[in-house]
């Protein structure tokens, strides 16, 4: 099969022939149709400090995908050949305290598809049956390819009640955009989204934000005044990882405000902890998706709200043949587009 391959501990990928994987006990083999490019994949491709400390090459990366089940290992019960599916990329041990308590997203032995085991930037991928998510009719290959990051957005957005609340989202990348759409679906009053790239800010307005703030030229307290707010935002979602984003968010939260943090910091962040204490703020770290409550929630929301499905689908701005993966990675890295998806059906 064709696959993007990280052959060793160095920058770059190679599009090469690799052996097709074979499903083992309780595993499912999937023909990949589409696969999204994630920030994690950018780290692995460039072989930065995080990748060098986390990845053991050789490896096939990629963990956001949509495909068709083509083969079942022995013992598979609830997935059938021909099912159209995506995959939960975190493979858990099942026996640690959190797994046994039903908190599988907090497993202490998590292994990630495309990070610790071969992933979906290939014509075929194999994952355990419990990680397979079977889609209902109506999910397009492009939408199915972004269920993983959509899950991140849903997990972050639904961490706190949103009905009637004023929401600040810092970072209009694909997950921030999807979080804005979810906040609108969930009943937020005002939604402000920040970024420095105008195309992404335009997308934020298109998916349901009330205000798109270019923080290169405008401060968030000015945005509050534009919205007619008086006491600060009730819920914050920090999606960017930029070292200035969280401190400015804290400065613009109402007393008792709640902040969900998904963006991984790109540098050390200095926080006014006195304000966190005296304003009684809540900061909550978010990683991945709740397994599998988030998956049920996002499927139900899409099925019940065609406007939301259209908004989430619109976050995919570029679909390229997998043979043009370098262009896809460059587009994803420049930060001005929405989600970039590779089509693996052309080989």
The CA–CA distances, whole Å, from 44 to 213, 305, 307, 325 equal 31, 36, 35, 14
Strand partners, 320: 342
Q: Which of 10, 22, 34, 40 is catalytic?
A: 40
Strand partners, 165: none
The CA–CA distances, whole Å, from 184 to 85, 99, 311, 336, 338 equal 27, 32, 10, 23, 19
- Averaged pLDDT score across all residues of the chain: 96
At residue 104, the pLDDT reads 95
At residue 336, the pLDDT reads 83
* Pairing outcome for strands 191-195 and 211-214: parallel
List Cβ neighbours of 154 (8 Å cut-off, separation of 6 or more): 178, 179, 182, 289, 294, 297, 298, 301
At residue 177, the pLDDT reads 98
Q: Report how far residue 319's alpha carbon sits from residue 341's, in angstroms, rounded to the nearest whole number.
A: 5
The yes-or-no answer on residue 282 being catalytic is no
List Cβ neighbours of 124 (8 Å cut-off, separation of 6 or more): 1, 20, 21, 29, 30, 31, 32, 70
- Band the pLDDT of 221: cuts 50, 70, 90: very high
At residue 335, the pLDDT reads 83
The yes-or-no answer on residue 43 being catalytic is yes
At residue 269, the pLDDT reads 94
- Domains of the chain, start order: 2-146+315-343 (3.90.180.10), 154-285 (3.40.50.720)
At residue 42, the pLDDT reads 95
154-171 confidence digits (pLDDT tens): 999 999 999 999 999 999
Which region holds residue 138: left if phi is over 0, alpha if psi is between -120 and 50, else beta?
left
pLDDT at residue 68 greater than cutoff 90: yes
Length of the chain: 347
- Band the pLDDT of 347: cuts 50, 70, 90: confident
Q: Which of 10, 22, 34, 43 is catalytic?
A: 43
Classify each residue of 305-330 as buried b or exposed e, where b means 16 or more C-beta atoms within 10 Å of its C-beta.
eeebbebbebbbbebbebeebeebbe
- Which residue in 202, 193, 199 sits closest to 175, CA to CA? 193
The dihedral through the CA atoms of 308, 314, 156, 188 has a sign that is: negative
Q: Report how far residue 18's alpha carbon sits from residue 2's, in angstroms, rounded to the nearest whole number.
A: 6
């Amino acid at each position: 099969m064709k696959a993007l391959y990280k052959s060793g501990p160095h920058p770059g990928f190679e599009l090469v022939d690799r052996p097709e994987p074979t499903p083992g006990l309780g595993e499912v083999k999937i023909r990949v149709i589409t696969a999204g490019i994630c920030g994690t994949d950018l780290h692995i491709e460039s072989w930065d400090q995080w990748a060098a400390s986390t990845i053991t090459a050789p490896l096939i990366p990629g963990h956001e995908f949509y495909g068709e089940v083509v083969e079942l290992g022995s013992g598979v019960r609830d997935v059938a050949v021909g099912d159209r599916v995506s995959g939960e990329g975190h493979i858990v041990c099942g026996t640690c305290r959190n797994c046994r308590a039903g908190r599988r997203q907090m497993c202490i032995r998590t292994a990630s598809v495309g990070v610790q085991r071969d992933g979906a930037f290939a014509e075929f991928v194999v994952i355990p049956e419990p990680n397979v998510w079977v889609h209902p009719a109506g999910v397009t290959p492009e939408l199915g390819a972004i269920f993983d990051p959509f899950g991140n957005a849903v997990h972050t957005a639904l961490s706190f009640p949103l009905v009637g609340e004023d929401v600040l989202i810092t970072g209009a990348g694909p997950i921030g955009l999807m979080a804005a759409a979810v906040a609108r679906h969930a009943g937020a009053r005002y939604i402000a989204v920040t970024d420095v790239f105008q195309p992404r800010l335009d997308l934020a307005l298109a998916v349901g934000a009330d205000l798109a703030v270019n923080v290169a030229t405008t401060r968030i307290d000015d945005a509050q005044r534009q919205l007619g707010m008086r006491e600060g935002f009730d819920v914050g979602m920090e999606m960017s990882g930029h070292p200035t984003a969280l401190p400015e968010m804290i400065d613009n939260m109402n007393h008792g405000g709640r902040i969900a943090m998904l963006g991984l910091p790109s540098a050390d962040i200095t926080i006014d902890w006195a304000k966190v204490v005296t304003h009684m703020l809540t900061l909550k770290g978010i990683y991945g998706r709740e397994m599998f409550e988030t998956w049920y929630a996002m499927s139900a929301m899409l099925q019940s709200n065609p406007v939301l499905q259209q908004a989430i689908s619109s976050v995919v701005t570029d679909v390229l043949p997998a043979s043009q993966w370098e262009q896809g990675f460059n587009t994803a890295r420049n930060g001005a587009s929405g989600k970039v998806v590779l089509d693996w059906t052309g080989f």
